[in-house]
């Protein structure tokens, strides 16, 4: 399975989501391809935000190798599942995808842990470390739920 995590800048939330989903998949022995992208290009080529890197590391996950990139129409065709952090990301992915848009592939990430809730992962961009821990925990629950559900399938 190919999974793409999407947020606005691809430096705070989606790099965490990429690292966390890859971590849970690897522990479960699943050979999934996990990547992330942003809908905006302000941080192209940059590593994840220092607080995203720090909080990931505290939880045993290294995301320091990641580099920010922008979501493209090709991503909509290539990936099997695309998880967005908030409704603005959802609308931007839809707009960028143009004719390739496939709503069956796209969902809010937190619908994995709280189905149908349409809750959003808050943007920690200008916040302190505590917010990054909160965001980590939300994303972690969602990714773990997804892997657990996949493993439980007959």
Q: How many residues bind ligand 4NP (CB under 6 A)?
A: 11
Choices 10-18, 57-65, 76-84, 143-151; region in contact with ligand 4NP by CB under 6 A: 10-18
Torsion of Cα atoms, 143 then 98 then 70 then 83, to 10°: -10
CA distance 35 to 106: 14
Name the active-site residue from 35, 86, 123, 140.
123
Q: Which is nearer to ligand 4NP, 10 or 53 (CB)?
A: 10
CA distance 44 to 140: 25
Report whether 123 contacts 116 (CB < 8 A): no
Per-residue binder mask for ligand 4NP (CB under 6 A), 13-52, x = binder: x------------------------x---x----------
If we measure between CA atoms, which residue out of 110, 129, 121 comes closest to residue 53?
A: 129
| 3-state SS, residue 39 | coil
13 is catalytic: yes
107 is catalytic: no
To ligand 4NP, the closest distance from the beta carbon of 10 in angstroms equals: 6
Q: Where does this chain bind ligand 4NP (CB under 6 A)?
A: 7-13, 38, 42, 123, 125
The residues annotated as belonging to the active site are 7, 13, 123
């Amino acid at each position: 399975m190919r999974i793409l995590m999407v947020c606005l800048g691809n430096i705070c939330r989606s790099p965490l989501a990429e690292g966390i989903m890859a971590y849970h998949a690897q522990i479960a022995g699943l050979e999934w391809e996990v990547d992330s992208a942003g809908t905006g290009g302000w941080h192209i080529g940059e590593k994840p935000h220092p607080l995203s890197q720090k909080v990931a590391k505290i939880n045993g996950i290294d995301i320091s190798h990641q580099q920010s990139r922008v979501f493209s129409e090709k991503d909509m065709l290539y990936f099997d599942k695309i998880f967005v952090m908030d409704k603005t990301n959802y609308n931007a992915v839809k707009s960028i995808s143009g004719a390739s848009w496939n709503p069956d592939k796209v969902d809010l990430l937190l619908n994995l842990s709280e189905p149908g809730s349409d809750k959003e992962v808050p943007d920690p961009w200008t916040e302190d470390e505590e917010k990054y821990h909160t965001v980590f925990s939300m994303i972690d629950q969602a990714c773990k739920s997804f892997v657990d559900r996949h493993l439980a399938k007959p």
